[in-house]
């Protein structure tokens, strides 16, 4: 096949643009927090064509600030989908072969029910009264979408970061519905350091007086300043020190000498500020609070008497675990722990640590070794599954 | 000598409590930003006794949020001095042998002139009109204190983090006045990642409406929320992932099960919040802005045509460079770069990387290998200098 990285085929546009399903009271979703969500909507996008056997489905799970617009042009931001390099004709998730679907997570802000949507019981935005959701709840909601579409089994469930957490949750809670699973730059539980960084972001949002105890939509205010700070802090953790040094070093921004002021003297400051200010235009502050909390709560072993291996007992799922050398947010030992647990259960697992200096964000970027690993795994699994070539 | 770590001798109280010197117009200080500071005060503390030859002086340089209260009980916080384990009778900086002095940095908030003090020209707090200071300016101010005290040469200048930056600046700009120098957990220039973390903290402060463009003292407001977020973000960088895991892991705070809420479920969250809320009681938000900026600007090579080695040309100073394996804020390669430059100039330099999982904060903690290294170096230097034993 052509090198996916250098494929010149145009990015696919969503073939079923703006799909969503609203579930009514007959299909209420009982959340981990104990609350029943009686009416809710899940927005999703699909790319490629579902085959007659419905055997070519790849479920992509998005990360904290991602959404269902994996490829093509994002209808809100006008930018490319977040996995444009990955999903499309001739790309690793080849839409000539696979039917790719991505669901905006429950609690999100791109069409699925979340704190910025209207609570049907009150007619007002949910805001801080939105129930807490977990990664398992997100997966339960995705299961309902697939049931609705009549899809029994996923050929593959794949995702990075929080997407990888969903992949693990899927494979563990519905092993019979998952043929293969690819958790990327993920972990079986959120670490203390990661909880700490999330807490800084939440405190930044909640310290913004415009947050109004979470009721900013009712007041017509916007906690943009707090959300931007949260994004800036998080963004540093997505990169590696080496990448920051290579990309910015101590280079000055639009000036030859230091300003002796608090303007963005350094390019890295200017870059971070830009990351913060553009993020607030597309993301809801309360969604940020809820989704970071869902990640903090994720602990796959805790759901299985503290024993990660037992989560994988007798699993029929084919796993491909991928980590990146310079990822310090979800460092390789976290992936290795998953692999050790799978191995202890004699599961079918491949593990690749991709050498890169691009940090956690490497899963979103042009990383030839990563793509090659993935294509190899997917081809093998597709042949085993009896899928036709592209 | 007794093991300094387990010394049972009481912590020394400052012997010259609350000293400060106010410099008048005849001794104006020309800052790197071009502004002349015509009247300013420098607060300092001393411990131990100056010998007749004035040859036993150890200048301790404090870090970003430190101050001159190195040992004993801090008069503002009521807590122990930040280097209580290091400075005192029988401790590595043995006050029976050395005369220890620490000056609150220019721009600080513990008695030295900084943004929270009164501008004599206006009778109002300096606030955001305080001139920008650099690490070199901080050192220039310390030189004036030592001149005032009639001290020609420091037996040793020592400090960690930003303190280590001052140590380097001292040794490079006044080599004839420094017998030995110990930069700990430091760097010859601030990295892109560190500038980025500082920028997050500054944005958190400046996003707080109570900051009032820096004029909060005039308005009687306090940007506590923003400063607390800044401190929380920074505090994570002072620790290692391993230390956070060992100390907190995913342990819950005062509860058995998850709350499904935004309270501090996890101990690490509670700890961070505590760090934020106690910090605002003792630190000035504008000082935080100014001092972080001074660190960002620090680049010793840039002052010497981009060549770090030439900064050390013909240096007579005995160097002991110390780093910590788990310090990711000032990682060992940064120290190694200093050592390489010194070695290229055939300088007298020892280098020790201390193995510890305690991260950047290790320089403040009970680290036997660190203390042993330091005592060995200081004893050798003291003998060479002809200082009497304790």
Closest chain A residue to the Cα of B199, Cα to Cα: A269
Active-site annotation holds for A20: no
Q: Does residue B160 share a domain with residue B213?
A: no
Categorize the per-residue pLDDT at A26 as very low, low, confident or very high, splitting at 50, 70 and 90: confident
Interface of A with B in 31-50 (CB under 8 A): 32-34
Task: Decide: helix, strand or coil at residue B299.
Answer: strand
Q: Is B244 helix (H, G, I), strand (E, B) or coil?
A: helix
B329 and B278 in a common domain: no
A53-84 confidence digits (pLDDT tens): 999 999 999 999 999 999 999 999 999 999 99
Residue A330 lies in a domain: yes
pLDDT score recorded for residue B18: 74
B180 & B232 share domain: no
- Rounded to whole angstroms, the Cα distance separating A37 from A45 reads 22
Same domain, B203 and B187: no
**Active-site pick, A55, A112, A161, A240:** A161
pLDDT tens readout for residues B16-32: 457 999 998 888 999 99
Q: What is the pLDDT of residue A389?
A: 86
What's the CATH code of the domain at A372? 3.40.50.1820
Q: In the predicted model, is pLDDT for residue B242 greater than 50?
A: yes
Residues B112 and B167 in one domain: yes
How far is B83 from B73, CA to CA, in rounded Å?
Answer: 11
Contact A195 B33 (CB under 8 A): no
User: B271-320 pLDDT, tens per residue?
Assistant: 999 999 999 999 999 999 999 999 999 999 998 999 999 999 999 999 99
The verdict on A229 touching B (C-beta cutoff 8 Å) is yes
**Is residue A229 within 8 Å of A211, Cβ to Cβ?**
no
CA-closest candidate to residue B269, choices A231, A233, A299, A202: A202
The model's pLDDT over B5-19, given as tens digits with 9 standing for 90+, comes to 222 333 434 434 579
Task: Give the pLDDT confidence of B89-142 residue by residue, as tens digits.
Answer: 999 999 999 999 999 999 999 999 999 999 999 999 999 999 999 999 999 999
Say yes or no: B56 and B184 in one domain: yes
Are the C-beta atoms of B54 and B116 separated by less than 8 Å? no
pLDDT at A17: 52
Q: Are A195 and A323 in contact (CB under 8 A)?
A: no
Question: Average pLDDT, stretch A105-119?
Answer: 97
> Which among B32, B236, B262 has the least Cβ separation from residue A196?
B236
CA torsion sign, B273 to B275 to B279 to B285? negative
H or E element, residue B183: strand B178-184
Q: Is residue A270 part of a domain?
A: no
Residue of B nearest to A202 (CA): B262
**Strand, helix or coil for residue A22:** strand
Domain annotation covers residue B144: yes
B contact test, residue of A222, A232, A262 with most B CBs within 10 A: A262
pLDDT, chain A, mean: 94
Q: What is the pLDDT of residues A295-346, one digit of tens each?
A: 999 999 998 999 999 999 999 999 999 999 999 999 999 999 999 999 999 9
> d(Cα A103, Cα A236) in Å, to the nearest integer?
27
**In this structure, what token pair is assigned to residue A85?**
């390099």
CA distance B198 to A203: 17
Is some CB atom of chain A closer than 8 A to the CB atom of B269? yes
CA–CA distance, B233 with B82 (Å, rounded to integer):
20
For residues B347 and B11, give the distance between their C-alpha atoms in angstroms, rounded to a whole number: 35
In a shared domain, residues B50 and B19: yes
Overall number of domains in chain A: 1
Decide if pLDDT at A360 tops 60. yes
Backbone angles phi, psi at B28, to 5 degrees: -60, 150
Q: Does A2 have pLDDT greater than 60?
A: no
> Is A222 annotated as catalytic?
no
Contact (Cβ atoms closer than 8 angstroms) between residue A104 and residue A67: yes
Calpha distance A173→A176 (Å, rounded) = 9
**Do residues B281 and B340 share a domain?**
no
Chain B residues whose CB is inside 8 A of the A289 CB are 262
Q: How far apart are CA B206 and CA B214, in angstroms?
A: 8
* Residue at which a domain ends, from B292, B309, B329: B292
Q: What angle do CA B134, B138, B140 make, to 5 degrees?
A: 110
Domain membership of residue A276 (yes or no) is: no
B228 touches chain A (CB under 8 A): yes
Shortest CA distance to A387 belongs to which of A70, A83, A58? A58
What is the distance between the alpha carbons of residues B64 and B294, in angstroms, rounded to a whole number? 10
- Kindly state whether residues B85 and B212 are assigned to the same domain: no
Closest residue on chain A to B238 (Cα): A193
DSSP state of B303: G
Domain boundary among B266, B292, B318: B292
Q: Do residues B19 and B120 both lie within one domain?
A: yes
ipTM of the complex model: 0.93
For residue A258, give every residue at least 6 positions away whose Cβ sits within 8 Å of its Cβ, in sequence order, or none: A252, A265, B297
Is the domain of B144 the same as that of B96? yes
Domain assignment of residue B226, given as a range = 194-292
Task: Say if B264 falls within a structural domain.
Answer: yes
Search chain A and give the residue with CA nearest B329.
Answer: A241
Structure tokens at A351: 């593990």
How many residues in chain B?
A: 390
Find the CATH number of the domain harbouring B207: 1.10.1740.110
| B213 within domain boundaries | yes
Instruction: Spell out which residues of chain B touch residue A195, defining contact as CB-CB under 8 Å.
Output: 250, 266, 268-269
Q: Which helix (H) or strand (E) holds B207?
A: helix B192-207
DSSP code string of A42-88:
EEEEEES---TTS--EEEEE--TT--S--SSB-TTT-SB-TTTTTEE
The answer to the question of residue B324 being in a domain is: yes
Chain A residues within 8 A of B297 when measuring between CB atoms: 258
Q: A259-263, B56-60, B110-114, B377-381: lowest mean pLDDT where?
A: A259-263
CA distance A233 to B300: 27
Which of B292, B327, B351 represents a domain boundary (last residue)? B292
Q: Is A331 on the interface with B (CB under 8 A)?
A: yes
Q: How far apart are CA B333 and CA B339, in angstroms?
A: 10
Instruction: Tell whether B325 and B367 lie within a shared domain.
Output: yes
- The verdict on residue B155 lying in a domain is yes
B residues 70-129 closer than 8 Å to A (CB) = none
Nearest to A287 by CA among A103, A109, A130, A61: A109
- The question of whether A327 is a catalytic residue gets the answer yes
A176-233 pLDDT tens trace:
999 999 999 999 999 999 999 999 999 999 999 999 999 999 999 999 999 999 999 9
Asked if pLDDT for residue A13 goes beyond 80, the answer is: no
Helices (H) and strands (E) in chain B, counts: 11, 14
Contact present, A88 and A47 (Cβ < 8 Å)? yes
Q: Based on the number of CB atoms within 10 Å of its own CB, is A78 exposed (0-12), middle (13-18) or buried (19 or more)?
A: exposed
């Amino acid at each position: 096949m052509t090198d996916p990285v250098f494929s010149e085929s145009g990015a696919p546009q969503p073939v079923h643009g703006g799909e969503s399903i609203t579930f009514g009271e007959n299909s209420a979703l009982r959340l981990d927090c104990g609350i029943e969500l009686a009416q809710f909507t899940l927005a999703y996008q699909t790319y490629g064509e579902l085959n007659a056997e419905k055997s070519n489905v790849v479920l992509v799970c998005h990360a904290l600030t991602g959404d269902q617009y994996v490829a093509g042009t994002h209808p809100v931001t006008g930018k490319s989908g977040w996995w444009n390099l990955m999903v499309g004709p001739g790309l690793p998730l080849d839409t000539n072969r696979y039917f790719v679907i991505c669901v905006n997570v429950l609690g999100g802000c791109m069409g699925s029910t979340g704190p910025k949507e209207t609570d049907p019981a009150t007619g007002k935005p949910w805001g801080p009264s939105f129930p807490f959701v977990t990664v398992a709840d997100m997966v339960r909601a995705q299961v309902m979408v697939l049931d609705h579409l009549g899809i029994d089994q996923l050929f593959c469930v794949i995702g990075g970061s929080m997407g990888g957490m969903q992949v693990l949750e899927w494979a563990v809670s519905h092993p019979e519905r998952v043929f293969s699973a690819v958790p990327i730059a993920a972990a079986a539980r959120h670490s203390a350091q990661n909880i700490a960084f999330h807490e800084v972001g939440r405190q930044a949002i909640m310290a913004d007086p415009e947050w109004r105890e979470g009721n900013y939509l009712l007041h017509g205010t916007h906690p943009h300043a707090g959300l931007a700070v949260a994004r800036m802090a998080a963004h540093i953790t997505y990169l590696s020190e080496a990448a920051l040094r290579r990309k910015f070093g101590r280079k000055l921004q639009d000036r030859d000498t230091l300003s002796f002021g608090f303007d963005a003297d350094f390019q890295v400051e200017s870059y971070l500020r830009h990351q913060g200010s553009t993020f607030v235009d597309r993301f809801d502050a309360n969604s940020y609070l809820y989704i970071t909390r869902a990640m903090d709560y994720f602990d796959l072993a805790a759901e299985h008497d503290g024993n990660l291996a037992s989560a994988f007992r007798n699993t029929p799922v084919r796993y491909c675990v991928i980590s990146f050398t310079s990822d310090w947010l979800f460092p390789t030992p976290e992936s290795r722990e998953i692999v050790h647990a799978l191995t202890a259960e004699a599961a079918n697992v491949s593990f690749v640590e991709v050498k890169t200096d691009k940090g956690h964000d490497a899963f979103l970027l042009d990383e030839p070794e990563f793509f090659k690993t993935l294509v190899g795994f997917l081809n093998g699994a597709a042949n085993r599954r009896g899928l036709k070539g592209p």
